[in-house]
Amino acid sequence: MASIKGLLPSETKYDGSALRIAIVHARWNREVIDALVAGALQKLKEAGVKESNIVVQSVPGSFELPLACSRMIAGSHIQLASNDTDLLGGLNFGTYPKVPSRTGTPAPVAAVTMPNEPFDAVIAIGVLIKGSTMHFEYICDSVSHALMKIQVDTGVPVIFGVLTALTDGQALDRAGLGRGENKGHNHGEDWGLAAVEMGSHCRRWGQGKFA
């Protein structure tokens, strides 16, 4: 019998050309990670997201993903604020641009062009493969809850790109790297599309538009 599982593709083609998207990925189980990141990037670009509007960062393991997402979302708002011009020439958060020395004559802060949009979505990518201890269960549980909390608390979609595989084979299959005849499906592609869809929805919903 054919399986009923799976994602029904959206009937709407979302335009990512105005969106700014971050990808943060762990480095554990690198072969699978690389394929997932490539799949996500491919779909972001196909949806029109500009390369200059995609930021990719890495962290050691999946356990580090929630903090990274949280700080990157906050950081993108600081970038926005530091570009706002006011009578003082914009807020200066101290590290960028360089703060003039306290001993020298205060100089006007130079205008610096930084990307000035907060992230519309963040894709958190990790690959957890069960070992012989309870480590896997603790990390899966805490990371999934933390990522959910970040998106609900910040209002910025966090795409759950964390594979929680019981075997190497399960992880490979879900990155399109299956060793058998069927290579499987690269879930990174779905995550790229989900980021564009959720980023687009949230922009619209944030403006009170629901049509």
- Active site residue ranges: 135
Least distance between ligand DLZ and beta carbon 24 (Å): 12
Binding mask 29-48 for ligand DLZ (x = CB under 6 A): x-------------------
What is the total count of residues that contact ligand DLZ (CB under 6 A)? 15
Those residues whose C-beta lies under 8 Å from the C-beta of residue 21, and which sit 6 or more positions away, are 44, 49, 53, 54, 55, 119, 120, 121, 122, 123, 195, 196, 199
Question: Which residue number has the CB closest to ligand DLZ?
Answer: 61
Least distance between ligand DLZ and beta carbon 126 (Å): 4
Choices 54-62, 108-116, 175-183, 184-192 (CB under 6 A): range interacting with ligand DLZ: 54-62
Residue 160 as a binder of ligand DLZ (CB under 6 A): the answer is no
* Residue entry with tokens 């499987």: 184
Token reading at 50: 């500009």
Give 128 or 156: the residue with its C-beta nearer to ligand DLZ: 128
Contact 112, 99 (CB under 8 A): no
Cα–Cα nearest to 139, from 128, 149, 152, 150: 128
Binding mask 60-79 for ligand DLZ (x = CB under 6 A): xxxxx---------------
H or E element in which residue 77 lies:
helix 65-83
Sign of the CA dihedral with 67 first, then 68, 72, and 75 last = positive
Least distance between ligand DLZ and beta carbon 195 (Å): 20
Binder to ligand DLZ among 6, 9, 108, 131 (CB under 6 A)?
131
Binding mask 10-29 for ligand DLZ (x = CB under 6 A): ----------------x-xx
Least distance between ligand DLZ and beta carbon 67 (Å): 10
Phi and psi (nearest 5°) for 193? -65, -40
Spell out a b/e string for 58-94, using b for 16 or more CB atoms within 10 Å of the CB, else e. ebeebbbbbebbbebbeebeebeebbeeeeeebebee
Binder to ligand DLZ among 13, 135, 183, 204 (CB under 6 A)?
135
Q: List strand residue ranges (DSSP E) for the chain, in order.
A: 21-26, 54-59, 121-129, 158-165
Give 71 or 204: the residue with its C-beta nearer to ligand DLZ: 71
Summarize as ranges the residues that interact with ligand DLZ (CB under 6 A). 26, 28-29, 60-64, 126-129, 131, 135, 139
